[in-house]
Chains A and B, each alone.
Chain A
């Protein structure tokens, strides 16, 4: 099955076919989710209306983390099997994941200031998320830091793999250490600890963000694959 999807043109054919349904899914769930979150979900009894920041903060954080798992897996596939599609996927995921990580940090700061009285604290969750953002930036710098793009693929893939150590640290930092950041409210034993009036918009915005992430990755993969074909044509004898 892996070989079947690892063919770049077949993969892109399937991905392009998924693009429109993903756009529709993202727009519909995004609009309904934000509408419910901003207009219908009640204000939190402790946080007041500031709780509405979670409808961007939580999806961004999930995607920053899931994106990095994707980046790490692509790194593994590239290092072990040297498959160019894994490299293309990793290069497409990295900037998208980096933007979601930045969004997590900025929206977290905008929530932290009125709630904690500080834009930033060196808490385990915040610090590990900042490190995750730096791993993304490191990957982008390393992947693009060579005259020939392919030369950066292996070191970048290795960096992506090393960064995987940070993923469980981000996820479990709130359990392992006594952090200011609250523990997990959704993925926890005993089920979500959020009332359905807040949970529904959150789940909808989570779906929208996942679909949006996939759209961006497909578009970037398409551009990168075309770029590779362009480069191959240029290098061909007789090509300009």
Chain B
């Protein structure tokens, strides 16, 4: 197992590359999902608010 992680002496470079890729792509994925979700929630709140407004004015 240690031999696998050592990668013939290139372990730091290889796992550094894979680690950086996981962090970057993971963060981008999380940020994109969160933004899409937050905006959809905001829209839902605003739309329910605008639909409700005529009733409240009655």
Contacts and interface: CB of A to CB of B under 8 A. Distances in A.
Nearest to A112: B13
Nearest to A52: B14
What is the interface residue range for chain A against chain B?
35 or more
What is the interface residue range for chain B against chain A?
20 to 34
Interface in A164-216: 212, 215-216
A107 B21 contact: yes
A150 interface: no
B47 A233 contact: yes
B55 interface: no
B15 to A, nearest CB: 10
Given A50-B14, A52-B14, A106-B20, A227 B39 contact: yes
B21 A60 contact: yes
A161 interface: no
A229 interface: yes
A156 interface: no
Contact of B8 (A48, A53, A216, A229): A48
Contact of B39 (A48, A52, A56, A226): A226
A234 B46 contact: yes
Contacts of B42: 226, 230
B17 A219 contact: no
A57 interface: yes
A233 B53 CA distance: 14
A138 interface: no
A102 B33 CA distance: 21
B50 A222 contact: no
Given A216-B28, A230-B39, A233-B46, A103 B13 contact: no
Interface in B38-58: 38-40, 42-43, 46-47, 49-50, 53
25 contacts: A43-B8, A48-B9, A49-B10, A49-B14, A50-B7, A50-B13, A52-B14, A53-B14, A96-B28, A99-B24, A102-B24, A106-B17, A110-B13, A110-B20, A216-B28, A219-B33, A220-B32, A220-B35, A223-B35, A226-B42, A226-B43, A230-B42, A233-B47, A233-B50, A240-B46
